[in-house]
């Protein structure tokens, strides 16, 4: 069983627990593509079987979220689970919020990961150091915000925002930093991931539906094919004669005019694996199925 389960992770479940849940149902090695904090719900692509080795080739790594920024104060965790460390000063007018987002939080930006995160320092995650009362200097990291739109008010003290961003972006840090820029302490009150690359919320499956499918032997109904997140990647088709050689690690000749680089390789309509074209030769880097 190889492919992806587009799991709708519920709040209160860690990403590791979600992966373990799918692993128990499938009996295969599993991994996730992009951690979600336990309190965050939404799309969590779970890689199953040999698909666990394909994440590095995903063609779209952007993510989309809908979340609430609350101006009731800043917290030590930058979300609603933390302790208030700076009291709120009320929500800004929508035009002021939109202006600071437009001026400072779109495009390529620098973001400092929060202390309560899985980023490691000296082999230990920052959240473990924070819980032990330790504070360390964390260097800012580049990230990208494609859009950050105001959808609506969220009570008298907040707004509901829609964010599209690059991989590795902390939305709670984005909301915290927006509050700092406005001199109105803020935190993330709620967050749902609506898209992760090609995996979307509308196509996701709940844990309950996935378990029910497993009980009736219908897990394959929710298993997306291994090449699902490779849309837009250059493709190469093997002939019947080339298939045997490619499967056994023998380079296959291609025209010198073919662009070099990684490509999705197919045998007929079937996904065969990932190949690399260099100097007129195609050599397989990953096989969708174990070599015979």
Question: Domain residue spans in the chain?
Answer: 3-61+198-228, 63-196, 233-287
Mean pLDDT of 100-127: 79
Contacts for 208-212: CB closer than 8 Å, 24+ residues apart: 210/5, 210/7, 210/22, 210/25, 211/25
Mean pLDDT of 65-84: 95
Domain 3-61+198-228, what architecture?
2-Layer Sandwich (3.30)
> Active-site residue 60, yes or no?
no
- With pLDDT > 90 as the criterion, what percentage of the chain qualifies? 80
pLDDT at 7 over 80: yes
Give residue 256's pLDDT. 78
In this prediction the pTM is 0.90
Pick from 21, 19, 94, 34: nearest CA to 65? 34
The answer for residues whose C-beta is within 8 angstroms of residue 197's C-beta and 6 or more apart is 33, 45, 58, 59, 60, 61, 62, 63, 229
User: SS3 for 112?
Assistant: coil
CB 246 within 8 A of CB 272: yes
The answer for residues whose C-beta is within 8 angstroms of residue 198's C-beta and 6 or more apart is 60, 228, 229, 231
Give residue 123's pLDDT. 64
The two structure tokens encoding residue 228: 């699902």
Q: Give domain 63-196's CATH number out of 3.30.2350.10, 1.10.10.10, 3.40.50.1970, 2.60.40.420.
A: 3.30.2350.10
Query: What's the count of helices (H) and strands (E) in the chain, helices before strands?
Result: 6, 18
Mean pLDDT of 234-246: 91
Give residue 257's pLDDT. 80
- What is the band of 289 on the pLDDT scale with cuts at 50, 70, 90? confident
Mean pLDDT of 214-227: 95
Domains 3-61+198-228 and 63-196 share a fold: yes
Give residue 191's pLDDT. 97
CB 162 within 8 A of CB 65: yes
- With pLDDT > 70 as the criterion, what percentage of the chain qualifies? 91
- What is the band of 292 on the pLDDT scale with cuts at 50, 70, 90? very low
Q: pLDDT tens across 114-138, in order?
A: 766 666 666 666 666 656 666 776 7
pLDDT at 201 over 90: yes
Q: pLDDT tens across 163-174, in order?
A: 999 988 999 999
Give residue 69's pLDDT. 98
Mean pLDDT of 211-220: 96
Domain 233-287, what architecture?
Roll (2.30)
Annotated catalytic residue, options 37, 79, 157, 227:
37
Q: How far apart (Å, rounded) are the C-alpha atoms in residues 90 and 113?
A: 25
């Amino acid at each position: 069983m190889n492919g992806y389960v587009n799991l709708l992770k519920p709040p209160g479940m860690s990403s590791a627990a979600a992966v373990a849940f799918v692993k128990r149902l499938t009996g295969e090695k599993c991994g996730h593509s992009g951690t979600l904090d336990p309190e965050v719900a939404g799309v969590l692509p779970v890689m199953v079987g040999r698909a666990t080795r394909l994440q590095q080739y995903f063609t779209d790594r952007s993510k989309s979220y809908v979340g609430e920024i609350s101006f009731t104060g800043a917290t030590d965790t930058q979300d609603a689970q933390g302790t208030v460390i700076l009291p709120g000063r009320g929500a800004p007018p929508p035009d002021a919020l939109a202006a600071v987002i437009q001026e400072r939080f779109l495009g390529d930006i620098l973001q400092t990961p929060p202390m309560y995160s899985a980023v490691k320092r000296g082999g230990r995650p920052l959240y473990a150091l924070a819980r032990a009362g330790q504070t360390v200097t964390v260097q800012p990291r580049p990230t990208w915000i494609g859009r950050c739109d105001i959808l609506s008010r969220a009570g008298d003290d907040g707004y509901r925002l829609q964010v599209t961003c690059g991989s590795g972006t902390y939305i709670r840090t984005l909301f915290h930093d927006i509050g700092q820029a406005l001199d109105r302490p803020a935190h993330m009150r709620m967050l749902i991931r609506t898209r992760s690359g090609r995996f979307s919320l509308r196509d996701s499956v709940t844990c309950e539906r996935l378990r029910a499918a497993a009980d009736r032997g219908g897990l394959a109904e929710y298993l997306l094919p291994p090449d699902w997140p490779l849309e837009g990647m250059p493709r190469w088709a093997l002939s019947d004669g080339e298939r045997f050689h490619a499967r056994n690690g023998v380079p296959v000749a291609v025209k010198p005019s073919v662009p070099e680089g990684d490509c999705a390789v197919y045998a007929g309509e079937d996904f065969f694996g990932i190949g690399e074209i260099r100097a007129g030769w195609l050599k397989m880097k990953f096989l969708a199925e174990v070599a015979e």
